[in-house]
Amino acid sequence: MNTKGVNFQPSERGQFSTAVDTAERPDFRSLFGKCGTIKYQGDTTTMSPLPLPGLPSWSTAYRLTVRRADGARGPDGAGIIGFCRGLLVSVVFTQLPGGDISPNDTNALVTLFNDQVAKLQAI
């Protein structure tokens, strides 16, 4: 089972995840323009490409922004997704509302992703 797209939608009690399964490996980068924005209960969640050095070519880094119905910023974040040995590897950083993502945050994401990939490749 392969995941075609992943989007997150926060609510008052938690966070919803949406995934579409498909038989082929998707090109996550191409999906940003097709289904990178979700509107739910007045809030708008958008995923866009995030260029990060040091990642495998088959992975995709993204920025997640949330805008509330009243225009306020929600819990933004960033993540990296990709398939390694047939498994979907995903790391996500969710920042506090109103914060900015720092180079330390993105460096930690790259390290976490690459460490997980190394574990899978060692099996």
What pLDDT sits at residue 59?
93
Dihedral sign (CA 56, 21, 38, 10): negative
Say if residues 38 and 10 touch (Cβ distance below 8 Å).
no
pTM summary value: 0.75
What pLDDT, in 10s, does the model give residues 79-109? 999 888 878 888 888 887 666 788 888 898 9
Torsion of CA 96, 97, 102, 104, to 10 degrees: 10
Is residue 101 within 8 A of residue 77, CB to CB? The reply is: yes
Contact yes or no for 97/73 (Cβ under 8 A): yes
Helix extents (H) in 1-123: 28-35, 103-121
pLDDT, tens digit, for every residue of 36-79? 888 888 999 999 999 999 999 999 999 988 899 998 888 888 89
Tell me the C-alpha to C-alpha distance, in Å, between residue 111 and each of 102, 106, 115, 120.
14, 9, 6, 14
- Tell me the CB-side half-sphere exposure of residue 111, using CA atoms within 13 A: 6
Looking at residue 98, its pLDDT comes to: 63
